[in-house]
Amino acid sequence: MTGKPPRDEVLGLADLHVTVHEGAATAVRGVSLSVAAGEIVGLVGESGSGKTLTCRAALGVLPPGCAVGQGTISFERQDVTDLSRRGWERLHGTGMGAVFQDPASYLNPNLTVGSQLAEVLRVKQRLPRREARRRGIDLLAAVGLHRPDWVFHQIPGELSGGMLQRVMIAIAISCEPRLLIADEATTALDVTIQAEIIELLRDLRDQRGLAVLFVSHDLAVIRELCDRVIVFYAGEIVESGPVGEIIERPRHPYTQALLRVASVGDFRRRELQVIPGQPPQVGAGITGCRFAGRCPAAIEACRSGPVSLVPLSHVHQARCVRATDPELTAVPVTTAAATAEAEAAELAAR
Amino acid sequence: MAVAELTTAGGALAAPRRRRTRAAASRIAGGLAVLITILLLSSFITYSLGALSNSNPAATILGQDAATPAAVAHLDHVLGLDKPLPVQYGNWLSQAVRGNLGVSYFTQIPVSQSIAQRLPVDLSIAIGAIILAVLIGGTAGTVAAVRRGGWTDRGVTLACSAVSTLPAFVVGIILVVAFAVTAHALPANGYTGPSAGIGPWLAHILLPSLALALPVAADVARQLRTSLVSVLEQNYITGARVRGLPYRRILIRHALRNAAGPALTILGNDFPLMLAGAVAAEAVFSLPGLGQLLLESAQTRDIPVVQGVLLVVSTFVIVINLLVNTALGLLYRSADGVGV
Amino acid sequence: MTRTTRRAPGSSVLRLPSARIAVAILAVIVSLAIFGSTLAPQSPLAIDAGALYKGPSLHHLLGTDYLGRDVLSRLMAGTRLSVLTAFEAVAIGLVIGAPLGVATVFLGRWFDFSANRVADALMTLPSIFFAVAVTAALGNGLVQAMLPVGILLAPVFFRVSRAATLEFSRAQYVEAAELLGGSKLHVIRVHVLRKVLPTIAVTTATAAAGALLAVSFLTFLGIGVQPPTPTWGGVLSSDLDYLNLAPWAPFIPGALIAITVGALNALADAYRDRAGAGELHSPVADPVIKTHSTLQPLEAADDRQTAA
């Protein structure tokens, strides 16, 4: 979306490109999104779709070998694309926080979780030791941990995944950031705990006006939690809009297929459903739509040139040549068995 | 007892910590038991060396003319040399733990006194060497890891390979040539105690300590680099960054803390080599230390002194090992170290 | 690391340039040990009062020492003693340590436990002290002095061959061989030894390096030989007394020692890399830190194997 960012925008990405392998390939291209205060925005897509790299870029913690190639990142309407290390140190914690999948690996296994929580408070907010400990225990209680004083003194190895994720959230919000980035935060947890974490995030948004960028490959969770959803495929945004609208009226074949596979919305699962084929390799030179190879609704125009986002309303857009085509519904999705049959037939034919 | 602790309110908080400290304590106690076994074994071997000798100390003491069989037998009895070996060992050991290591066959000076006189020299250079090894090795290893792949890293790795193959006496000689003879910056030999002035004392122990420290520092640096590179790739380092902690703090409090273990172990393993190097340093720098005492008493076959020095050296080694074990126990509370 | 060809591991090692240089150096040293005195250009004992501490020249390729003797000749002559006594120590260590290490795997828990404790004790102690102490007991000779060096090398061989045997005795094909009717001794001889020997070869090289250093150290301290017998360490030691006159002098014997030791270590490394043998460092060297036991690092490796 072009134009000036809204006044309460917390995170803005404009035409972001991320290169990998020391610039050899572009894994994320032309991503633009905006998160406003108090919004919960979901990023959905399969692994390798670029959603994690986008988050890492937004956080300033890209892995070695990756870099922002083009585009800008802005936090509270300030350009942070070329922020120095010191600048990021100041921004992290107080401006934006993050939680990741597998919380145990993101904590030092040799220190108690409490000391790591208190460390943040002592360093970032200059609280004295006792005060930091007290506030830490309060924070642990605020994220829904029973017996927070016991948890405070445990090392990560002694806590369960759900408890650890709550601890991570506590640490992430400890310095009152305006944005929380959650990268697959509920993926490794079991369903009941998942629901509790989702509720926790919603409460945090309601009580503190926290904006959340929630990355997941699980559409059901996204539907529960998010206000808006952005669909990634092969390093690009292929559709974005309010979550209800996307679920009821998806206008990109990939989104439709995703919904079918997740049996969310109108689609009911009968057998194990898959989307046949594979996403393109990172850096593969493809003219035209990057989904065309797997798209059952592809036409000539899809492969002729780059496809840009088609605005369907002022909040909904889709990167599809046929986005406005009313026949673009109920795109067939095959079953796993059928795909296997088709592949076997293809092999036999060779 | 553990169950009862868990059910009380205050106990609920303290139990896991107590459990962890108890685990650490039993680990240290286990290590201590093994080390005591080692001490006993090595002191027995030490002691047997004296008995192995078919030299006749009594005859040597009495001198050729006075060494009549009767006189020898009498002196043997006085010195306790006519009892069976295990009994002799037992007597010696029970005296040793009380600080009585016997007297020199020749000078009649108590062994413990001779040792006490020379100990400060070796302590100075040994402790100096440990400090230098940690500082130099730690810094080199950290810098190499942080700038991995770059010129600094390659330079440090190359230097480490070169230095760690050099024995301490060669390093010592190089240092003497470089700093004492050519540059006249530091004294080439001699020792003055700290009571005679801190400045001269430091000047005299700097080169010897450095000679001991450098090969060990090379080993430590190499190990630290490897561990640190691995640790820096871990998720919890990213986690710490994302919390906004300053880089230096992350490096020291999280990365180094977890990566230091194996390097510390290397330091502990190399310590006996440092002690051997001390003997070399005493020779190169003409320091009046235990190594020289050992050489002199070996020449004159003054067995009690030899045994005493060996016992002290073994104890040294064991104490350092104990310290290293304790430090590791404190650093690492999770069961699998870094939890990779 | 599997090998598809049945070539002996030695030949592939020699492909590495570092290994070739190392072997060449060691060949020179060994031939000096055998023929040193005869090959020397001058008598190592010939004193020339007019040419004290002269630098390298055509007549004296490595210069002269404090008595005007030719340094090159002295070093060449001294090679024999250093090499022979180092060999003695390595042989003692190997003969005591390696068979015990292999056997201990098959001799029951108690034996293994006690053998390990003894090995621990011996390994914590620096050999130099015992070498000197032995001369007090048995007389001032290099042969006697190298005896404790050899004994203290035995635990290294013990540890290494024990770990290698443990690793390979658990392999499936050993069980299969036993099932097919081979006696335990036969199995050990044919299968286990074939895998364990490369590891022991690597250890021999590094032990030789250590023993050589020990000899140089002892002769440097004046133990074991009477002047004017030339030794590497002895030449080094006398150079030390005259540093003011000739600061360059100690680097010559020093370099000789360092090069020989370096060649041995390089050979060991090359063999280890190529044949995949000898990778039995304590887990301390393992970059993925899994343990923090210190005194018995290989113990931890064993525990992992028994648990596996």
3-state secondary structure of C41: coil
What is the interface pTM, i.e. ipTM, of the complex?
A: 0.84
**Looking at the complex, does the CB of residue A156 fall below 8 Å from at least one CB of chain B?**
yes
* Residue B318 with chain C: CB contacts under 8 Å: 124
Q: How far apart are CA A21 and CA A151, in angstroms?
A: 41
CA-nearest residue to B333 within chain C is C292
Q: What is the pLDDT of residues C253-297, one digit of tens each?
A: 888 888 888 888 888 877 777 665 444 433 333 323 222 333 333
CA-nearest residue to B340 within chain A is A105
- Chains C and A contact (Cβ–Cβ under 8 Å for 3 or more pairs): no
Q: Please name the residues between 124 and 143 in chain C that touch chain B, using a CB distance below 8 Å.
A: 124-130, 132-140
Looking at every residue in chain B, the average pLDDT score rounds to: 78
Residue C78: C-alpha distances to residues A86, B119, C30, C51, C135 (Å): 62, 35, 12, 21, 21
pLDDT at A161 over 70: yes
Across the range C5-34, mean pLDDT stands at 72
Across the range C24-50, mean pLDDT stands at 77
pLDDT range class, residue A128, cuts 50, 70, 90: very high
User: Which chains touch C (3+ CB pairs under 8 A)?
Assistant: B
Cis, peptide link before residue C228, omega less than 30° from 0: yes
Q: Which range among A339-343, B52-56, B331-335, C33-37 has the greatest average pLDDT? A: C33-37
Q: How far apart are CA A6 and CA A18, in angstroms?
A: 25
CA-nearest residue to A60 within chain B is B242
pLDDT at B208 over 90: no
Q: How far apart are CA B184 and CA A205, in angstroms?
A: 71
Facing B243 at nearest CB: one of A93, A105, A156:
A93
Predicted local confidence at residue A228, as pLDDT: 94
Q: What is the pLDDT of residues C137-195, one digit of tens each?
A: 777 777 777 888 888 889 889 988 888 887 776 665 556 666 666 666 666 667 666 77
- Spacing of C-alpha B332 from chain mean position: 22
Note whether A120 contacts B243, CB cutoff 8 Å: yes
Q: What are phi and psi of B110, to 5 degrees?
A: -55, 135
The vertex-C257 CA angle with B164 and B157, nearest 5°, equals 25
Mutate to test the interface with B, among C252, C286, C295, C298 (most CBs of B within 10 A): C295
C60 and C249 in contact (C-beta within 8 Å)? Answer: no
DSSP one-letter code for C192: I
DSSP one-letter code for C16: S
Q: Which range among A28-42, A322-336, C147-161, C243-257 has the greatest average pLDDT? A: A28-42
* Residue A155 with chain B: CB contacts under 8 Å: 20, 333-334
Predicted local confidence at residue A97, as pLDDT: 94
Looking at every residue in chain C, the average pLDDT score rounds to: 73
pLDDT at A114 over 50: yes
Q: Which tokens belong to C271?
A: 């063999």
3-state secondary structure of C95: helix
Q: How far apart are CA A313 and CA A334, in angstroms?
A: 30
Q: Please name the residues between 113 and 142 in chain B that touch chain C, using a CB distance below 8 Å.
A: none
* Residue A109 with chain B: CB contacts under 8 Å: 236, 258, 334, 336-339
pLDDT range class, residue B4, cuts 50, 70, 90: very low
pLDDT range class, residue B338, cuts 50, 70, 90: very low
Note whether B169 contacts C133, CB cutoff 8 Å: no
The vertex-B144 CA angle with B138 and B150, nearest 5°, equals 170
Distance from CA of C181 to the nearest CA of B (A): 41
Domain boundaries, chain A: 102-174, 255-349
Which residue stretches of A64-145 are H helix?
Answer: 85-94, 113-125, 129-142
Predicted local confidence at residue C17, as pLDDT: 77
Residue A180: enclosing H or E segment and its boundaries? strand A179-183
Note whether A150 contacts B13, CB cutoff 8 Å: yes
Across the range B18-32, mean pLDDT stands at 66
Facing B173 at nearest CB: one of C122, C124, C254:
C254
Distance from CA of B213 to the nearest CA of A (A): 30
Q: What is the pLDDT of residues C106-143, one digit of tens each?
A: 788 888 888 887 787 777 777 788 888 878 777 777 77
pLDDT at B174 over 50: yes
pTM for this predicted structure: 0.78
Strand partners, A234: none
* Residue A153 with chain B: CB contacts under 8 Å: 13, 16-17
Residue A98: enclosing H or E segment and its boundaries? strand A96-100
Question: How many Cα atoms within 13 Å fall on the side-chain side of residue A316?
Answer: 17
Q: What is the pLDDT of residues B99-149, one digit of tens each?
A: 777 777 777 788 888 888 888 888 888 899 999 999 999 999 999 999 888
Distance from CA of C189 to the nearest CA of B (A): 33
Of the candidates A290, A233, A234, the one whose C-alpha atom is nearest the C-alpha of residue A258 is A233
- Chains C and B contact (Cβ–Cβ under 8 Å for 3 or more pairs): yes
Q: Which residue has the tokens 């006519």?
A: B82
Q: How far apart are CA A123 and CA A146, in angstroms?
A: 26
What amino acid occupies position A248? Answer: E
Q: Which tops the pLDDT comparison, B240 or B69?
A: B240
CA-nearest residue to B15 within chain A is A150
Predicted local confidence at residue C172, as pLDDT: 55
Q: Is C63 left (phi over 0), alpha (psi -120 to 50) or beta?
A: left
Q: Which residue has the tokens 């991995």?
A: B148
Q: Which tokens belong to C299?
A: 């113990």
- Euclidean distance between the first and final Cα of chain B, in Å? 33
Q: What is the pLDDT of residues A194-249, one digit of tens each?
A: 999 999 999 999 998 999 999 998 888 898 899 999 999 989 999 999 999 888 88
Mutate to test the interface with C, among B227, B265, B273, B333 (most CBs of C within 10 A): B265
Q: Which tops the pLDDT comparison, A340 or B222?
A: B222
B4 and B11 in contact (C-beta within 8 Å)? Answer: yes
C54 and C242 in contact (C-beta within 8 Å)? Answer: no
Considering only CA atoms, give the Rg of chain C.
22
Residues near B232 by beta carbon (within 8 Å), at least 6 away in sequence = B145, B146, B255
Percent of chain B residues topping a pLDDT of 90: 16
CA-nearest residue to B328 within chain A is A110
Note whether B169 contacts C220, CB cutoff 8 Å: yes
* Residue A90 with chain B: CB contacts under 8 Å: 244
Distance from CA of B254 to the nearest CA of A (A): 7
Q: In what order do the strands lie in the sheet with A78-79?
A: A25-36, A9-20, A67-75, A78-79
Note whether C136 contacts B324, CB cutoff 8 Å: no
**Looking at the complex, does the CB of residue A118 fall below 8 Å from at least one CB of chain B?**
no
pLDDT range class, residue C14, cuts 50, 70, 90: low
CA dihedral A134, A138, A143, A145 (to 10 degrees): 80
Which residue stretches of chain A are H helix?
Answer: 51-59, 85-94, 113-125, 129-142, 148-152, 161-173, 191-208, 219-225, 243-248, 253-262, 300-304, 336-349
pLDDT at B11 over 60: no
Q: How far apart are CA A170 and CA A118, in angstroms?
A: 11
DSSP string computed for B97-111: TTT---B-TTT--BH
Predicted local confidence at residue A333, as pLDDT: 53
CB atoms under 10 Å from CB of A100, counted, come to 24
What amino acid occupies position B31? Answer: G
pLDDT range class, residue C3, cuts 50, 70, 90: very low
Q: What is the pLDDT of residues C205-222, one digit of tens each?
A: 888 888 888 888 888 888
* Residue C135 with chain B: CB contacts under 8 Å: 298
Across the range B321-340, mean pLDDT stands at 69
Predicted local confidence at residue C281, as pLDDT: 39
Q: In what order do the strands lie in the sheet with A179-183?
A: A96-100, A179-183, A211-216, A40-44, A228-233, A236-242, A317-318, A310-311
Note whether B181 contacts C126, CB cutoff 8 Å: no
Across the range A40-64, mean pLDDT stands at 90
Residues in chain B whose beta carbon is closer than 8 A to a beta carbon of chain A? 12-13, 16-17, 20, 234-236, 238-247, 249, 253-254, 257-258, 331-339
Predicted local confidence at residue C169, as pLDDT: 66
pLDDT range class, residue A339, cuts 50, 70, 90: low
- Euclidean distance between the first and final Cα of chain C, in Å? 19
Of the candidates A116, A160, A105, the one whose C-alpha atom is nearest the C-alpha of residue B236 is A105
Predicted local confidence at residue A232, as pLDDT: 92
Predicted local confidence at residue B31, as pLDDT: 65
Q: How buried is residue A5: exposed, middle or buried, by Cβ count under 10 Å (0-12/13-18/19+)?
A: middle
Report helix, strand and coil shares of chain B as percent, to nearest 5.
80, 0, 20
CA-nearest residue to A149 within chain B is B13
CA-nearest residue to B290 within chain C is C129
Note whether B167 contacts C118, CB cutoff 8 Å: no
DSSP string computed for A289-310: -TTGGG-TT--HHHHHSPPPPE
- Of A221-230, B204-213, C40-49, the poorest mean pLDDT is in C40-49
Q: Which residue has the tokens 């689609």?
A: A267
What amino acid occupies position C27? Answer: A
Across the range B222-235, mean pLDDT stands at 91
Mutate to test the interface with C, among B49, B115, B169 (most CBs of C within 10 A): B169
Across the range B93-99, mean pLDDT stands at 76
Predicted local confidence at residue A136, as pLDDT: 95
Note whether B242 contacts A97, CB cutoff 8 Å: yes
Predicted local confidence at residue C280, as pLDDT: 41
Q: What are phi and psi of A13, to 5 degrees?
A: -115, 130
Q: How far apart are CA A193 and CA A221, in angstroms?
A: 12
Facing C290 at nearest CB: one of B301, B310, B337:
B337
**Looking at the complex, does the CB of residue C294 fall below 8 Å from at least one CB of chain B?**
yes
B-C contacts (CB, under 8 Å): 183
Across the range A38-45, mean pLDDT stands at 93
* Residue C297 with chain B: CB contacts under 8 Å: 265
Q: Which tokens belong to C146?
A: 């190298």
